[in-house]
Amino acid sequence: EVQLVESGGGLVQPGRSLKLSCLASGFTFSNYGMNWIRQAPGKGLEWVASISSSSSYIYYADTVKGRFTISRDNAKNTLYLQMTSLRSEDTALYYCARHRYYGGYNDYWGQGVMVTVSS
């Protein structure tokens, strides 16, 4: 069974940093690209970042470019999102999702981890 479990969220002050993790199981993690997608309270879905299976290709939304860094450790079956210079508008539920690049879709999603940026 494919499982994605996010962790690392919490309350953080504006301008500070936070690192999210997503532990994958039930599939060969190193064979799949991964995405971070977020959802502000009561709002829709916003794609944040993508990383290919071997980390060769990385993409970011303009809203986070230069502040967030997506990475992965295939030996640990873990996806990361390092977030710096956090803003109130980054407050959201952050999902990791398995990405099927040659289908352009996300077939499995984690339960999400909440990040609240507030003073």
- The one segment of 8-16, 22-30, 81-89, 102-110 that binds other proteins by CB under 8 A: 102-110
CA distance 7 to 29: 17
Q: Which residue number, 13 or 62, has a Cβ lying nearer to other proteins? A: 62
CA distances to 65, 106, 109 from 18, in Å: 15, 24, 21
The answer to whether 93 and 113 have CB atoms below 8 angstroms apart is: yes
Q: Binding to other proteins by residue 80, rule CB under 8 A?
A: no
Could you tell me the two tokens for 31? Answer: 């064979």
| Minimum CB distance to other proteins, residue 16 (Å) | 25
- Neighbouring-strand partners of residue 48: none
Q: Binding to other proteins by residue 59, rule CB under 8 A?
A: yes
Q: Binding to other proteins by residue 8, rule CB under 8 A?
A: no
| Minimum CB distance to other proteins, residue 39 (Å) | 8
The answer to whether 22 and 79 have CB atoms below 8 angstroms apart is: yes
| Minimum CB distance to other proteins, residue 3 (Å) | 12
Count of residues that bind other proteins according to CB under 8 A = 23
At residue 73's C-alpha, the angle toward residues 71 and 78, to 5°, is 85
Q: Binding to other proteins by residue 27, rule CB under 8 A?
A: no
Instruction: Identify the residue among 45, 53, 82, 91 touching other proteins (CB under 8 A).
Output: 45
